[in-house]
């Protein structure tokens, strides 16, 4: 299911087998929250170097409905993407709604208790209950290749007692979700070609515990006792200082079993990806490259380009001379500046193509460096380039 092909320090070059194809790691997964990566066709995603996407339980369950998608052939057929899909469990979206444990206030947005989370749909106001079992069922209806355990994303800041209570609730939910997943997997009939026909959906557990190393260690220990197919580091990039996030990643990632994929959820910048890979992380996702593209914030080999700046109004050069993406091969900075200033949809499309291509090229570069044993030198070069990132 997962093979480590090469190492360089703590970093790993691996291959994850799924029923919709192999994934070369370390890998970045664009966010297709609603069954689409904004501004990108499936063909454009492939052309950018993307091999695996992320979908979301919370949003697709509410609209158009997981049973609708199931009856239309699953999420792959629905969105016409033939590669692997990982689905987030919905836990982070529940966290984002704003919760009050146990419904202590008169009108909490989310009630979280032992059973799960209860909230009003942000679409039509219907009362919705999302339990660990229901989250797994939705993800199976979607036909996900990688299913995520339903968890509670711990607040930041949180006291040790609050983080402990939240983490232990997530662990109890994880065991219930694992039991439901194993029952459903027995009847799993999704497949993709002869090579991967025998493979079934994979279930990843999520390590929680806030900024407390001992709680993180306890969480990982309990998850490995249950026996998941992979392990994610959750509850980061929720407002904590970068130094605290890095410390947790440096602690948890190397402690995850060596034969299992390691996934850092919701992170981040190119710098975050580089640091995560050096710490031993295999998988990443984040809305940053696509969201930033739509706001004219573009990543290049020479640093960040803010295309809305007046200096680009007459610039005839490509966005990034070292980039071979469709945008850089065909359009000038001046044209992108013009499209962005006019609010033209094409501007968002072209800039999203570039940012995702940049991220995927970076991951390919990191995979090659691990294979060659040159990651430390590459990391120094790339991190030094950060000083030129505000252009």
Whether pLDDT at 122 is above 90: yes
Structure tokens at 118: 């209860």
Nearest in space to 201 (alpha carbons), one of 226, 178, 221, 224: 178
- Going by C-alpha positions, the residue among 209, 206, 283 that lies closest to residue 248 is 209
**Residue 154: C-alpha distances to residues 139, 140, 197, 207, 265 (Å):** 22, 25, 37, 11, 13
At 384 the pLDDT is 85
Residue 11 banded pLDDT, cuts 50, 70, 90? very high
Calpha distance 341→322 (Å, rounded): 25
Mean pLDDT of all residues in the chain? 94
d(CA 291, CA 287): 6
Helix segments in 186-324, DSSP class H = 193-196, 213-226, 242-252, 270-279, 288-294
Q: Which residues are catalytic?
A: 88, 285
pLDDT recorded at residue 390: 46
Q: How far apart are CA 214 and CA 199, in angstroms?
A: 35
96 vs 283: CA distance, rounded Å: 22
Q: What is the mean pLDDT of residues 217-227?
A: 98
Is residue 237 a contact partner of residue 246, using CB atoms and an 8 Å limit? Answer: no
Reply yes or no: is the peptide bond before residue 157 cis, omega within 30 of 0: yes
Contacts of 156 (CB under 8 A, 6+ apart): 210, 211, 235, 238, 239, 240
Neighbours of 123 (CB within 10 A): 10
In this structure, the number of other CB atoms found within 10 A of the CB of residue 186 comes to 7
Q: Which residue carries 């509410």 as its tokens?
A: 62
Name which of 91-95, 140-144, 201-205 the model is least confident about. 91-95
The yes-or-no verdict on residue 305 having pLDDT over 90 is yes
The DSSP output letter for 158 is -
pLDDT of residue 105: 41
Asked if 171 and 109 touch (Cβ cutoff 8 Å), the reply is no
Q: pLDDT, tens digit, for every residue of 65-120? A: 999 999 999 999 999 999 999 999 999 999 888 754 544 444 468 999 999 999 99
pTM of the prediction?
Answer: 0.95
Task: Give CA–CA dist 253/247, Å, rounded.
Answer: 10
| Per-residue pLDDT tens digits for 150-179 | 999 999 999 999 999 999 999 999 999 999
* pLDDT of 51 higher than 60: yes
Residue 256: pLDDT over 60 = yes
pLDDT of residue 307: 98
Provide the pairing of β-strand 127-130 with 117-120: antiparallel
Residue 289, token pair as written in the block: 């490259």
Mean pLDDT for the stretch of residues 137-159: 97
268 prior amide bond cis, ω within 30? yes
Q: Is the pLDDT of residue 362 over 60?
A: yes
Please give the C-alpha separations between residue 157 and each of 14, 65, 91, 160, in angstroms, as whole numbers: 35, 34, 18, 10
Confidence of residue 275 (pLDDT cuts 50, 70, 90): very high
Q: Give mean pLDDT, residues 341-361.
A: 98
User: Which helix H or strand E contains 345, and what residues bound it?
Assistant: helix 345-372
Q: Is the pLDDT of residue 204 over 50?
A: yes
Contact 136, 78 (CB under 8 A): no
């Amino acid at each position: 299911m997962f093979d480590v092909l090469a190492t360089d320090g703590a970093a790993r070059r691996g291959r994850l087998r799924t029923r919709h194809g192999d994934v070369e790691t370390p890998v970045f997964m664009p966010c297709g929250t609603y069954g689409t990566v904004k501004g990108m066709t499936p063909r454009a995603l492939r052309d950018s170097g993307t091999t695996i996407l992320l979908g979301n339980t919370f949003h697709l369950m509410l609209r158009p409905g997981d049973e609708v998608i199931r009856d239309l052939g699953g999420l792959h057929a629905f969105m016409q993407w033939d590669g692997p899909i990982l689905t987030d469990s919905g836990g982070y979206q529940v966290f984002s709604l704003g919760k009050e444990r146990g419904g202590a206030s008169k009108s909490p947005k989310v009630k979280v208790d032992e059973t799960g989370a209860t909230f009003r749909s942000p679409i039509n106001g219907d009362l919705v209950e999302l339990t660990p079992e229901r989250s797994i069922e939705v993800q199976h209806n979607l036909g996900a290749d990688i299913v995520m355990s339903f968890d509670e994303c711990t607040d930041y800041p949180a006291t040790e007692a609050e983080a402990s209570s939240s983490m232990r609730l997530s662990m109890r939910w994880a065991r219930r979700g694992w039991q439901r997943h194993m029952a459903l997997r027995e009847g799993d009939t999704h497949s993709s070609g002869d090579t991967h026909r025998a493979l079934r959906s994979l279930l990843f557990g999520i390590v929680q515990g806030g900024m407390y190393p001992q709680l993180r260690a306890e969480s990982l220990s309990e998850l490995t006792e249950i026996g998941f197919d992979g392990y994610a580091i959750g509850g980061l990039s929720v407002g904590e200082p970068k130094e605290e996030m890095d410390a947790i990643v440096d602690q948890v990632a190397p402690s995850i079993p060596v034969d299992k994929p390691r996934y850092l959820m919701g992170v981040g910048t190119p710098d975050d990806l580089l640091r995560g890979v050096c710490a031993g992380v295999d998988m990443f996702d984040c809305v940053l490259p696509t969201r930033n593209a739509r706001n004219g914030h573009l990543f290049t080999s020479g640093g960040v380009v803010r295309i809305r700046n007046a200096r680009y109004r007459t610039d005839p050069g490509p966005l990034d001379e070292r980039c071979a993406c469709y945008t850089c091969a065909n359009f000038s900075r001046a044209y992108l500046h013009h499209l962005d200033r006019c609010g033209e949809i094409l501007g968002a499309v072209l800039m999203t193509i570039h940012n995702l291509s940049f991220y995927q090229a970076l991951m390919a570069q990191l995979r090659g460096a691990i294979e060659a044993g040159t990651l430390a030198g590459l990391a120094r070069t790339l991190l030094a380039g950060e000083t030129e990132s505000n252009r």
